[in-house]
Amino acid sequence: AAGVIQSPRHLIKEKRETATLKCYPIPRHDTVYWYQQGPGQDPQFLISFYEKMQSDKGSIPDRFSAQQFSDYHSELNMSSLELGDSALYFCASSVSGGGTDTQYFGPGTRLTVL
| Distance in angstroms (rounded) separating the CA atoms of residues 65 and 78 | 7
- Nearest in space to 63 (alpha carbons), one of 107, 15, 110, 23: 15
Q: Considering only residues 64-103, where is the footprint of another protein by CB under 8 A?
A: 90, 92, 94, 96, 100-103
- 43: CB partners within 8 A, 6+ apart: 35, 36, 37, 90
Which residue number, 54 or 80, has a Cβ lying nearer to another protein?
54
Which residue number, 16 or 58, has a Cβ lying nearer to another protein?
58
CB 3, min distance to another protein, A = 10
* Total of chain residues touching another protein, rule CB under 8 A: 25
- 59: CB partners within 8 A, 6+ apart: 36, 44, 45, 46
* The only residue of 36, 43, 85, 87 in contact with another protein, by rule CB under 8 A: 43
CB 25, min distance to another protein, A = 12
Can you give the binding site for another protein, defined by CB under 8 A?
31, 33, 41-45, 48, 50, 55-56, 58, 90, 92, 94, 96, 100-108
